Amino acid sequence: MKITNKLGLPDMLVRAVEKEYNYRDKRYSITSLLDNDRVIMLKRRYSNLIEQDVSDSIWMLFGTFTHFALENIELKENEFVEEHLEHTFDNGYTLSGIVDHIDEEYCDDYKTTSVWTIIYKSNDEKWKKQLQMGAYLHYKKHGVWKSKGRIIAILKDWNKKELLNNEDYPKLPVEVINFDLGTPEEVEKMILKRFDEIIELEKLADNQLPMCSLEERFNNGDKYVVIKKGGKRATKVHDTKEEAEKHLENLEKNYAGQYEIQLRKGEDTKCLHYCNCNKFCPYYLMNYDKDIKEIHEELAENTEKEINEKMGE
């Protein structure tokens, strides 16, 4: 990955985030397995071309400082910090990862995240799988299984004033989330299933890779708005065209011909602003790259014209 510095931030920050991860055939990290199918493959295939600005890595760097602090504490017996682990399965694929902290009872991971991630539990499933795979790697090396896991979440946008307005708001700027990690047999089955999926993905061309879901693209979906003709503010926003048509039908009884339905396409917020492999994604290029889109539309128009000509013959 190429690190850019568009804002001209101090060189020290650039060097701090320049740690390179080298992709190797049949070797996947825990975090990469937790990514969605398309992103996993595109990141590996175009790792030498993908760019990321240092300004987008500041919070990642903050998390690194937390890990650095952990590495410098005095350890107790059977306690491990920042343990680099990997295990190769019979299918030839290797799982690698760094486990933040292991003690007599828990497998821990430290996160720098938003309070809203805690309130909506939006990463709980992913965090649990990360802890499970970390515990599994530790088990394969040391023969000791940790069935309890914890995410220690440091909340970067915590605001004490919000406590008065939201009863679900975290009470402190740090939150500990506990998980039952199951058994090593269950986790191994999950990992091997994921590698089976990876093996199939590796056979696919870029445009054949499964599409990221609406949720993964941070897209709330298309909306249908009922709006007064010539107006700017919607009377009401609907999730389906049927709901909008029913609303318009009711309005027509008293305001015939004054209102209409407009489609507002959902925006792929992650694709546009947060995905560093978007320039290599066929979906992004077709939908958001103006030059590519115009070429595609021209080709489609010419193809349709040729078909019509042949049908006319």
Element of type H or E holding 185: helix 184-201
pLDDT value of residue 14:
80
User: Is residue 300 predicted with pLDDT exceeding 60?
Assistant: no
The Cα 85–Cα 258 span in angstroms is 66
Contact between residue 223 and residue 208 where contact means Cβ atoms under 8 Å apart: no
Using alpha carbons only, how large is the chain's radius of gyration in Å?
25
Query: For a pLDDT cut of 70, what percent of the chain falls above it?
Result: 90
Mean pLDDT value of segment 28-34: 96
Give the pair of three-digit tokens for residue 140: 């394969």
Q: By residue range, what is the domain housing residue 165?
A: 2-208
Is the confidence at residue 312, as pLDDT, over 60?
A: no
Question: With contact defined as beta carbons under 8 Å apart, do 61 and 19 qualify?
Answer: no
Instruction: Identify the DSSP state of 30.
Output: H
Residue 242 resides in a domain: yes
The number of domains in the chain is 3
The answer as to whether 272 is a domain residue is: no
pLDDT band of residue 73 (cuts 50, 70, 90) is confident
pLDDT confidence bin for 309, thresholds 50/70/90: low
Q: What is the mean pLDDT of the chain?
A: 89
Tell me which of 54 and 307 has the higher pLDDT.
Answer: 54
Q: Is the pLDDT of residue 203 over 60?
A: yes
pLDDT, residue 61, reads 73
Give the model confidence (pLDDT) of 144-162 as tens digits. 999 999 999 999 999 999 9
Among 186, 208, 230, which residue terminates a domain? 208
Residue that wins the pLDDT comparison between 75 and 72 = 75
In a domain, 125, yes or no: yes
Whether residue 201 is found in the same domain as residue 301: no
Q: Are residues 111 and 37 in the same domain?
A: yes
Q: Does residue 270 sit within a domain? A: no
On whether residue 228 sits in a domain, the answer given is: yes
149 and 235 co-located in one domain: no
Q: Assess whether 62 and 141 both reside in one domain.
A: yes
Q: What is the mean pLDDT of residues 199-219?
A: 95
Q: For residue 89, what pLDDT band results from cuts at 50, 70 and 90?
A: very high
Same domain, 22 and 161: yes
Considering the domain architecture, whether residues 251 and 294 belong to the same structural domain is answered as no
Is residue 126 domain-resident?
yes
Q: Are residues 132 and 245 in the same domain?
A: no
3-state SS, residue 144: coil
Across 299-310, average pLDDT: 52
Whether residue 77 sits in one domain with residue 15:
yes
* Per-residue pLDDT band at 307 (split at 50, 70, 90): very low
- For residue 134, the number of C-alpha atoms closer than 13 Å in the C-beta half-sphere is 29
Residues 101, 151: one domain? yes
pLDDT in tens, 281-297: 999 998 988 776 665 55
3-state secondary structure of 202: coil
Q: What is the pLDDT of residue 310?
A: 46
Across the range 182-199, mean pLDDT stands at 98
Average pLDDT for residues 73-78, to the nearest whole number?
Answer: 84
- In tens, the pLDDT along 210-259 reads 999 999 999 999 999 999 998 888 889 999 999 999 999 999 888 899 99
296 falls within a domain: yes
The pLDDT, as a whole number, for residue 298 is: 60
Distance of alpha carbon 13 from alpha carbon 1, whole angstroms: 16
Whether residue 275 lies inside any domain: the answer is: no
Examine the domain organization and report whether 73 and 14 are in the same domain.
yes
Q: List pLDDT tens digits, range 122-140.
A: 999 999 999 999 999 999 9
- 204 and 295 together in one domain: no
In this prediction, residue 311 carries a pLDDT of 46
Q: Are residues 22 and 57 in the same domain?
A: yes
- Annotate 112-139 with b (16+ C-beta within 10 A) or e (fewer): bbbbebbeeeebeeebbbbbbbbbbbbb
Check: pTM over 0.85? Answer yes or no.
no
Which token pair is 106?
Answer: 């828990």
